[in-house]
Amino acid sequence: MFDVIIAGAGPTGVMLAAELRLHGVGVVVLDKEPEPTKVVRGLGLHARSLEVLGQRGIVDRFLAVGKQHPVGGFFAGIAKPQPDRLDTTHPYVLAIPQTTTERLLTERALELGTDIRRNRALVGLTQDDHAVTAELSDGTTLRARYLVGCDGGRSAVRKLLGIGFPGEPARKEWVLGEVRVTTPHDELMASVMELHKTRHGFGAIPLGDGVYRVGAPALDVAEDRTVPPTLDELKDAVRAVAGTDYGVHSPRWLSRFGDATRLADRYREGRVLLAGDAAHVHPPLGGQGLNLGIQDAVNLGWKLAGTLAGWAPPDLLDTYEAERRPVAADVLDNTRAQVLLTTHEPGPRAVRRLLAELMEFEEVNRFLLEKVMATAIRYDFGGDHHLVGRRLPDLPLKTGRVHDHLHTARGVLLDQTGRLSVAGWADRVDHVVEVSEELDVPAVLLRPDGHVAWVGDDQRDLLDHLPRWFGPA
């Protein structure tokens, strides 16, 4: 019997597998597809995702193959300068195809000993007080203490559990693909830039070697969105916007996506949990979906590992939904707003013009961009200190940086006094006596996901907070 079965080998699933393996959890990842998808749905990693990859010591792998772009303009495509001094060591969006992100995360999961089994669709599941039994498409069964559905917006796990997925169906649709064009590059780019002044949701991005990622609003919403569009559909959609199809031809792949917006009623049913698109879907504006799923995995991994190891407080696993579902709801709301701001009706256009004026104020611009970057998230841990519940940036220390101490996904007491102790929790929490000129508090207790659980210098107060996140001594 495994400790955890993960359904879905996309970025969320393999990130969760790696997080669990850091704690020695026995994991098997199942995926219904025989090989990874070649369709590039996501194109970037935002600051918070880069931070969590840095917390695990692997961000350099992504930086080496991505390209850094200013994050300004990522809210509804409203072009404004990037605010100064963003509170992160990654004040940019890293352009990197989702297929590359998935490959790098998969390599990491395999390095840590994850068992990945493809061409294995989950077709049924049952659970009891001790374990979950997964029925697979090949007629076999697997049993594990927990199962996590990371199997996308059409999640079989969510449907088998009967968890509601309320929201709005797709009312708009876009078609896209990686194609070649006959129009010369300079002419194509000049045309696209001119159209961007008045039209949104259309674009052509050069990928190199004469290939472009071309997308445009579809003329209709498909009855069955699982069926890829044809090349003629892409041509018709581009022609409706640009008056020409630019001679698109020789597609590597074609796909469609819509603006369906849904949030699961709950993230847990007994020993089964949901993460990533299985728990939430929304339009791709701002490029937040992939990032949201990776961050779900980092929140869930250590809590599930602690539950399996037996040291977690009884309610620790429930804090996953309590913390991450409101974050997803906020992303759904900001993407709903962005969709309206990219339409061409007079009312939304007027609101867009007004918001563009407001974004001249740096505070407004920063507020909206930090939503997209996910750096402004604050979980409700109680207490009044402004750091508690927030993630701690990768501050410089006298030796190294803060995130250097989170590579093993354990808790960290960063102690600038040298007088505190985590005796009794040393198997779960590392005591780091270090100094940072940029940290204006005596000590902070960090959870494995980098969020601040406690601030202070009183040992008795620390002893009151350690059990909440790391169980009894």
Q: Which two tokens stand for residue 56?
A: 């695990």
Q: Which segments of the chain belong to CATH 3.40.30.120?
A: 402-470
List where CATH 3.30.70.2450 sits in the chain: 173-258
467 pLDDT exceeds 80? yes
Strand partners, 274: 149
Provide the angle, in degrees to the nearest 10, between the axes of the packed helices 47-55 and 289-309. 30
* Residues 276, 331 contacting (CB under 8 angstroms): no
144-170 pLDDT tens trace = 999 999 999 999 999 999 999 999 998
- The pLDDT assigned to 29 comes to 98
Q: How far apart are CA 296 and CA 279, in angstroms?
A: 10
Residue 257 pLDDT greater than 90, yes or no: no
Q: Which CATH architecture has domain 402-470?
A: 3-Layer(aba) Sandwich (3.40)
In the chain, CATH 3.50.50.60 covers: 2-167+262-373
Is the pLDDT at 199 greater than 90? The verdict is no
Gap between the terminal Cα atoms of the chain? 29
pLDDT at 197 over 80: no
- Span of 201-215, 289-303, 401-415 with lowest mean pLDDT: 201-215
Average pLDDT of the residues of the chain: 94
pLDDT of residue 293: 98
What sign for the dihedral angle of Cα 361, 364, 368, 373?
positive
pLDDT of residue 60: 98
Compute the distance between CA of residue 147 and CA of residue 16 in angstroms, rounded to an integer.
12
Instruction: Single out the residue of 341, 378, 390, 376 nearest to residue 73, CA to CA.
Output: 341
CATH of range 173-258; options 3.30.70.890, 3.30.1300.10, 1.10.357.10, 3.30.70.2450:
3.30.70.2450
Distance CA 107, CA 223 (A): 37
Rounded Cα distance between 466 and 473, Å, is: 8
Copy the structure tokens of residue 225.
């969105």
Lowest mean pLDDT among 18-27, 58-67, 216-225, 341-350: 216-225
Residue indicated by tokens 């004040």: 91
Residue 213: count of CB within 10 angstroms of its CB: 17
Edge-first strand listing for the sheet containing 261-263:
167-168, 261-263, 280-281
Could you write out the DSSP letters of every residue in 417-461? SS----TT-TTTEEEEE---TT--SSEEEEPTTSBEEEE-S-HHH
Cβ-in-10-Å burial (0-12, 13-18, 19+) of 469 comes to buried
Give the per-residue pLDDT at 37. 86
Average pLDDT over residues 7-14: 98
Query: What are the structure tokens assigned to 333, written together?
Result: 């709301």
- Amino acid identity for residue 105 in this structure: L
Instruction: Give the orientation angle of helix 318-341 with respect to helix 362-373, to 10 degrees.
Output: 130
What confidence tier does 269 reach under pLDDT thresholds 50, 70, 90? very high
Please give the Cα distance from 457 to 442 (Å, whole number): 6
Q: Which helix (H) or strand (E) is 185 found in, with range?
A: helix 185-195
d(CA 60, CA 54): 8
Given a cut of 80, whether residue 198 has pLDDT beyond it is: no
| Tokens, residue 223 | 């009855």
Mean pLDDT of 278-287: 91
The CATH class, in words, for 2-167+262-373 is: alpha beta
**What is the structure's pLDDT at 203?**
85
Structure tokens at 129: 């007080």
Please tell me the predicted confidence (pLDDT) of residue 258.
85
pLDDT in tens, 69-117: 998 888 988 989 999 889 999 999 999 999 999 999 999 999 999 999 9
